[in-house]
Amino acid sequence: MMRLIYKFFFRLAGWKISGDISHDIKKYVMIVAPHTSNWDFLVGLAARSILRLDTKYLAKKELFKPPFGWLFYALGGYPVDRSKHNNLTDAVVNIFNSKQRFSICITPEGTRKYSEKWKTGFHSIAQKANVPVVMVAFDYGTKTVFAERPFYPSANLEADIEKIKNYYRQFKGKIPEYGVR
């Protein structure tokens, strides 16, 4: 039922999806960019439902407090305490290792504002869990969610980040000046 509601409002707002994420891939790290607005969350929920994905997500712990914290948990969220380093990468890798099927969504920018330096935890998680990365982009210019084929990150973090940023530079976030440069 929720899928139909998401689909209705997604299309009513003029959004569409280009690409798909194969259900044959049992485990992966999904990265989404550009992340420039709170609206990205709703676009992401709709796209996840329309594509019939059970992808979980990481979000700042403040969202998981009352009165609406229960909702973020119910929607598949895992809280992250960004104020301290608590080995989140290994914790997520352990989740991957304990499940037959699992995917997690991360915004590598780590914030809705422009960030020159991206968080690289997604890369470490994918390498340590030996799972691919799936890039998803929200392009507000064309109102399209783009899903790319999965790839396995290399040992060269800097080169991978630059390739990924080059991919995302073509897309316009809700607030373009906060997007990937």
The model's pLDDT over 139-178, given as tens digits with 9 standing for 90+, comes to 999 999 999 999 999 999 999 999 999 999 999 999 999 9
User: Is residue 147 domain-resident?
Assistant: yes
pLDDT at 11: 93
User: Is residue 137 domain-resident?
Assistant: yes
Mean pLDDT of the chain: 94
pLDDT at 112: 86
Instruction: Determine the Cα–Cα distance for residues 58 and 89; give it in Å rounded to an integer.
Output: 11
Q: Is residue 81's pLDDT more than 90?
A: no
pLDDT in tens, 49-79: 999 999 999 888 999 999 999 999 999 999 9
E-only strand ranges, the chain: 16-18, 27-33, 56-60, 77-80, 102-106, 133-139, 144-147
The single residue listed with the structure tokens 């316009």 is 172
Q: Is residue 93's pLDDT more than 80?
A: yes
State the total domains in the chain. 1
pLDDT in tens, 2-36: 899 999 999 999 999 999 999 999 999 999 999 99
Average pLDDT over every residue of 91-100: 94
User: Is residue 35 domain-resident?
Assistant: yes
User: Is residue 13 domain-resident?
Assistant: yes
Q: What is the extent of the structural domain holding 136?
A: 2-176
User: Is residue 37 domain-resident?
Assistant: yes
C-beta separation of 20 from 53 below 8 A: no
User: Is residue 181 domain-resident?
Assistant: no
pLDDT in tens, 122-141: 999 999 999 999 999 999 99
User: Is residue 51 domain-resident?
Assistant: yes
Instruction: Determine the Cα–Cα distance for residues 65 and 138; give it in Å rounded to an integer.
Output: 27
